[in-house]
Amino acid sequence: MQHSTLKAILKKNGSSLTRTRRLIFDLLDGQDPQSMQVLISRAAGQLDRATIYRTIELFERLGIVHRLNIGWKYKIELSDVFTGHHHHLHCSKCGKILDLPSNPMLETMIDTLATKAEFAPRNHILEIYGLCPACKQAGSK
Amino acid sequence: MQHSTLKAILKKNGSSLTRTRRLIFDLLDGQDPQSMQVLISRAAGQLDRATIYRTIELFERLGIVHRLNIGWKYKIELSDVFTGHHHHLHCSKCGKILDLPSNPMLETMIDTLATKAEFAPRNHILEIYGLCPACKQAGSK
DNA sequence: AAATTATTGCGACAGATTTGCAAATATAAT
DNA sequence: ATTATATTTGCAAATCTGTCGCAATAATTT
């Protein structure tokens, strides 16, 4: 959907938008965060494992995607540039991951706190764990 | 330093404070978050790899430590019980990880936002990326 | 002290990620 | 468009991480 932005980021860093890269981008675009295994199997027959790892590494380095940690695994999602800044709500029961849109006041407070600690904040990740609406309901019977 | 607390937690769960467990606890106590590789090499000759994995898994299950995700790796740190609730400031330049003590107002705001989204928050992780005081200085010459 | 239970070490192993290198593809230069 | 140059990809092999079964040790209970 946003191939022009993608292409621009790549070009700015001396890389180009190849068939491979477009394909991997498309596997991520509009989807929930994806595990490597899923990416690898979705691209089976078209792309090699190593290529996928290398591409994700490149994408991460250029800020196109970032790794979302889940327990001691991780999944890949497009970065804020493509999705808008947001946080995640992880349901401890059903495992679903919901988006929590960013809130200006919260962002400000986080930056303020970091700045007070003499730190120069650039970005941050906030992951909240608990029960999603559905599981919360189910639990309170 | 807090071996009695450690022992109490273990005992409550039907486990005991063995030499092995004390050693691993001491490798974590008062240190920055540690990677498994570091723990393994620090304990080289004294403990087997598998034992360290098993012990960390036990510690995590009992809430003695937790995994701190960093990119697609993770590090281990003692849990809030031993360190107090806090967040992390990751320096993108030197890689150092600093603690940011928890702030009641921030915690409240996070919980409120999650609750407004119909979610039942239980706990959360906030990781802030940017430049640490030293690197910030160095950069602004 | 003997019996029972929990813990640890030692391979061996499965899966995940990385690497070197040659082939293929893309980009730049003529 | 064709050649030269640099980048990207696939393939196979190597490495790294984390896990497992099982026998040996250590701890706890009787």
The answer to whether the beta carbons of residues A100 and A128 sit under 8 Å apart is: yes
Q: What does each C-alpha distance from B88 to A60, A117, B33 come to in angstroms?
A: 21, 11, 10
* CB contacts < 8 A (A, B): 109
**Rounded-to-integer distance, Cα A77 and Cα B99, Å:** 27
Q: Is the pLDDT of residue A93 over 90?
A: no
Confidence of residue A140 (pLDDT cuts 50, 70, 90): low
- Distance between start and end Cα atoms, chain B: 42
Backbone dihedral region for residue A81 (phi beyond 0: left; psi -120 to 50: alpha; all else: beta): alpha
Q: Is the CB of A11 under 7 A from strand C?
A: no
**What pLDDT sits at residue B69?**
79
| Number of neighbouring beta carbons within 10 Å of residue A16 | 9
* Beta pairing partners, B66: B77
Q: What is the CATH number of domain A85-139?
A: 3.30.1490.190
Domain ranges for chain A: 3-82, 85-139
SS3 category, B69: strand
In percent, the amount of chain B with pLDDT more than 90 equals 81
Chain-wide mean pLDDT for chain B?
92
Q: Kindly determine whether the C-beta of residue B34 is less than 7 Å away from any atom of nucleic acid strand C.
A: no
Tell me whether A134 touches chain B (CB under 8 Å).
no
**A120 touching B, CB under 8 A?**
yes
Class of domain B3-82 as given by CATH: mainly alpha
pLDDT at B140 over 80: no
